[in-house]
Structure 1
Amino acid sequence: MYTGETKILKLKNLRPQDYANYSCIASVRSVCNIPDKMVSFKLTNRTASPSIKLLVEDPIVVNPGETITLVCVTTGGEPAPSLTWVRSVGNLPEKAVLNSGTLTIPSINSEDAGTYSCVANNNVGNPAKKSTSIIVRALKKGRYWITPDPYHKDDNIQIGREVKISCQVEAIPSEELTFSWFKNGRPLRSSERMVITQTDPDVSPGTTNLDIIDLKFTDFGTYTCVASLKGGGVPDISNDVNISSSTVPPNLTVPNGKNEMVAREGDTIELQCQVSGKPKPIIMWSRFDKEVPMPDGSMQMESYDGILRIVNVSREMTGRYRCQTSQYNGFNVKPRETTVELIVQYPPAVEPSFQEIRQGLGTTVTMRCRVLRAFPTRVLMYEWRLGSKLLEKGQFDSQDYTELTVNIHARENYGTYNCSIINEAGSGRCSFLVTGKAYPPEFYYDTYNPLWQSKASVYSYSLQWTQMNPDAVDRILAYRLGLKQAGQQRWWETEISVDGPIKKGELITNNLTKLVKPEPYEIRLTPINRFGEGDSAIRIIKYSAPINPHLREFHCGFEDGNMCLFTQDETDIFDWTKQSASTRDTRYTPNTGPTTDAGGSKQGFYMYIETSRPRLEGEKARLFSPVFNIAQKNPYGSSNTAYCFSFFYHMYGRHIGSLNIFLRLKGQTSTEIEIWSASGNKGEQWHQARINIHPTASFQIIFEGVRGPGIEGDIAIDDVSIIEGECTKVDQPVTSPPSGVKVSGTILHIWLYPVFLFLSFLSHQR
């Protein structure tokens, strides 16, 4: 994946001849035919970075519903800068209209408030930026509270004592907030007995107080505080507070003494606290455990009617809830509180939810269904059924599981067994599929394949597999083999009979003949016993170029369309690229890579690693040769045949990383052995490497290119050959050989005796 990148051209000691047209070309080499991108720039003696000016005030204070226009103009810059507007947090409002340096926002509201910036850019120096803030005037959340005489420990208001009424409103901007007080609709002015304080420094901003000194009977009535913003444009907020002999502090209870609520998971429930007194305050709900959040994720929820409504209640919501009177819209006294216990019932959670059991006839199977958690747990019933037929039912005692044992003596005993565990809230179910069908076969991937035929157009393949858990069910009688060309729809099927029981780990072989070169095929193998077909296994077999059985040699110059069946490693970071000098992009990274193939031809092909960005230092590209099969001289031992492996390599550039060569031996587990390595700049020429190898099993050659510290690090390979017999001249491997690899002089010998050769021989005797 290619990512954005910035290139900078710096001109020092600017001269008159430097005034010219400059172009920056972005090129992505050999990637999906992406076209080049070019940006042109004209440098003159008038070229200058941008400057701008805002034709607006800062801040801009507006009423909701108004339309505002922000204007930004350029005051300098060559070439002419482009102008745009951005918002400090989030995107511009969808309704906003942007026309170059002019931004219009119609019907503005509180959500549109924030900081807006005009940005000018002409690709010279840094962009210019100027900002202004939009403040949308608003009044929110009017509340009040009554404070009885603070000098007496009495929550009631009484004649002859002081009482204070407080009123609070959130205002934007706060400095424009004003309050007015009224009694029974008539304006009030501050006096010796009616003291009005516009702002109270002891409480939060936006609060006004009315202190009634020496309360008299004639002071009873309705007091109203009205909050306004200077200049209007925003509706006022008012609070009415009634002061009379019936004004009493709150009292909190639970209706009908129901301090416990039982619900089932998924229900919608209401927890209720009943408040008396006049006026009735807001009720605050919270968890009794202060660290546990409420169902909506907050730590506290408000309720004006004392009811807490919870939708889709879950087991995590079980616990005690506290309801508490707040000072808001009521008395500013010690809060009254009580608690309600919520009990959430939920059906049993059980294991296993599903389990497949494969058994042969004449065997016994025991199934166990375990309860993990449930509420309530005091009444747990269980029922075992096969289909709709009830087999067993009962009640749990002290154990947390129930078991059912079944003798598989007939086909009717196979099927799906369900165990339902039930409580008042519902049921949980364990399901057991008891079947007699066979497990799938497991393919043996590392056989000597293909088996080459003398005909040029076809090949054979030695397909080998083992059977998973052959003793778990009845004996396998045959296999159904399906074969089709990869990508086609039609399957060709045949049946392979099996004589006698199959042992665990036994290797079974079947030769597939008349396969068309070089097509890959999809193989489907299905075991069959007297209960029918078991599980199928599918694999893809691929044609791989052999060592010529007559000449005993392999040559590859990467000239053909399929690259001699070399393949890319699907797990590495990037890939090798096929290239020739004649097709190479003229805008390639200079000072690295070959200018011809190893034979000196500009039309010849080679493979190379492209180290330009986005490649990073240390990233690897791995190229796999075909699988080469060796002729076995002794089925019980190994072949001592030597092969001369040679190739040409080109490592030119000041950022060259490493080229590593591995030999992968194909066995029950594949083994990779490093046999050659080179690092660093080797000059602008091709070099040849020759290594003797003595593989004892089918093998592959792996070319691993490692990206160096920069873009001048292309590594190329060409003219790979493997010839039977030792090299007349060899190169000493760079790395020390691992255990199991013997080096004699300058020749690398590999002595391995894998057990699978012996097993393969035995399987051919079946």
Structure 2
Amino acid sequence: MEYGYITWNILILIYSVLRLVESQLPPMSGPDAPVLDTAAVTVTVAQGMTASLPCRVQNPGDTDVSWFTADYVILTTSDLILNDDSRLSVDTENPGEWNLVIVNVQEEDTGTYKCMLQSFPPQEKFVTLKVNTPPVIDKGSLKERYLFQKGESLTVICKVSGYPEPFVKWYAFKTITSTMEEVKELVSETAELVFEILQANDGGIYRCEAVNEMGKDMYEIFLQEVYEPRLKAINKTIVVKQYLDAVLQCEIESNPSAKTGWQRDGKLLKTNFKYNVAKYTESEYKIVTELTINEADKLDSGEYLCLATNFYGRKRIKFNVIVDVPTTTTQSTTTTTTATTTIKVPKSTEKSTSLSTGSHDKLKETTTIKYVEGPKTGPARDSASINTYSCTLILSVYSILLLLIL
């Protein structure tokens, strides 16, 4: 019973308030009643300019007009500003007009505003403000560099604001190898740059371009392939003469850059009196690492490994070093001793005996016949000369005897 009594009193109070408000509001009927132009309006201005949102009342009398945002945040009432935005004002220069003025409009001012005539029931007019703004790419949603591995998929979305709605396109910049000329190639006519299966040649510079009547914005990204180290031996077999330096060169291409090293028999080689390890940079992704074996000897012959490691893998390549050591040849020396014995023989001959000692220490006996008679300084006569002389002498004696007989 008590609850019903309270409810009834509340209803009576509300009714009394409404009757009081109604008595204070302008009449809603008749030729002198205020009438708000409730036709919806759209106002479009360029960013940075001044916007005037219209609100006109016929037969305003003592009527007050208020401005609200779309979510009923009050901005003004009559010509009084109830917001701390210093850009706002109410233009009441013309009778019956309560135009909301916003100077230096920005993109965030875009939206719907409501002009309300304080009548019973209230009359409302909706005004939509659109601010023409140049395209602005949301660069925070993009990365400068996108890393990919061959075979992966990738979608990059270029988020753009601006009014009127900008046209968004993606371009790729490719270099023609033969002429080294850079060309601009359209690859997408939407805000999405899509790669279903990435290949190595998809790497490079891509540009998002957004355009409307107010201007243009652009942003470039770089697609870069990442891969495990790729090793190449400039010469896998190194042949060097003993006591000369042996130089091993290993070419490494990788992205990201690789940690490198040289190894033999499972041990990492470092620069010391025997080895010198050096590294040379050829490009952003390519280096050459060099191992020098100082004064290579026979023990330095064998296998050496060039190693390279990065986040995507580990690779190695084998080198073979051959040290040419000259061979040593032992020669035997043979000494020959000759002993000569001379024996005098009767009449015209002399017999001599020679003893020869060879490499096996055996004695050889040789016998020669020398004729003592005749000139000691002349040439030696051999047996053929003696025979010829004897024959001539016999023929001469025979001829003389034959003449005597005849």
TM value normalised by structure 1: 0.20
- Which is bigger in relative contact order (C-alpha 8 A, separation at least 6)? 2
